[in-house]
Structure 1
């Protein structure tokens, strides 16, 4: 497999993870703040894949893709730790913090305030004992490894 094909496969993996997240959201699993944070690096990896599709598969792009995927994996590990109570998460989406984000009493009584606050420290869905955040971390680190593996594949070295 060439460097370009390997990089496109890795970008496609990020696309699959992002589409999976949107699917779960569409069937009723609202994302928390940390879930949203994990999506952005996948978007960056997809953008890198689009650049690779249109240009040469440079080493710089492989490194950018690997960094993007690893960033999502790191946020996934952080989110997993929050879910398991290993450390505290953002105060605006965890049970131990101020889940109301500093809203006043008048804000709380207003009908314009969102009623659904998705908690980052609660597992909404799990498979084989791992939450979506944990699965994202595993898949993201595998994609980061695939991006790095692309460096050793035949292709333009610059």
Structure 2
């Protein structure tokens, strides 16, 4: 396959991840946390880079698209660690709201974020009965897709 074909496939597969996440929100009524939302941005960057790689037949841009997908995988790895309780989230919006000491109801209401609606350590499961969170699925998907894109860029032809 040519670089153009590989880049087109990479763009489509990169777009699939955040679209599935959006569909799970809209149709599965699954609320995203802040880290869930952060994981989506590198995919959109990868879509743009891969589309440019397809148009320009650029293996370098395809490599950058693969790297962008791996960034989402890194955020997903961080998210899995937060879900498992291995470390706290670096994002203040990930914490569940607490009343704290000496906080009035008005102060508490002002401190609540409008979105996201759930803390990052509350894992979301897309497939009932499968004990793999959406963050863990994204980690696996990003590692595979990012690795494929980098491999395609390395071995690609410029036909």
1:154 paired residue number? 157
Indicate the SS of the match to 1:122. Answer: coil
Q: Deviations over 1:93-113 (max 9, x none)?
A: 135xxx46x9x6324346x97
1:138 paired residue number? 140
Q: Contact conserved, 1:83 with 1:120, CA < 8 A, in 2?
A: yes
> How many angstroms does 1:25 deviate by?
1.0
137 and 60 in structure 1: CA distance in 2 versus 1, 3 angstrom threshold: same
2:45 paired residue number? 44
Summarize the alignment of residues 1-158 of structure 1 with structure 2, pairs less than 5 Å apart.
Answer: 1-27=1-27, 28-55=29-56, 57-89=57-89, 90-95=91-96, 99=97, 105=104, 106-109=106-109, 114=114, 117-127=117-127, 128-150=130-152, 151-155=154-158
5+ residue gaps, structure 1: none
Consecutive aligned runs of 4 or more in structure 1 exceeding 4 Å deviation? none
147 and 115 in structure 1: CA distance in 2 versus 1, 3 angstrom threshold: closer
5+ residue gaps, structure 2: none
Q: Contact conserved, 1:7 with 1:146, CA < 8 A, in 2?
A: no
Query: How many residues in Structure 1 have an aligned counterpart in Structure 2?
Result: 149
| Partners of 1:51 and 1:33 in 2: CA distance | 29
The structure carrying a bigger helix percent of its residues is 2
107 and 115 in structure 1: CA distance in 2 versus 1, 3 angstrom threshold: farther
Q: Deviations over 1:97-156 (max 9, x none)?
A: xx46x9x6324346x973873110001215432100000011011111111121202116
Indicate the SS of the match to 2:93. Answer: coil
| Partners of 1:10 and 1:115 in 2: CA distance | 30
Name the Cα RMSD after superposition. Answer: 2.3
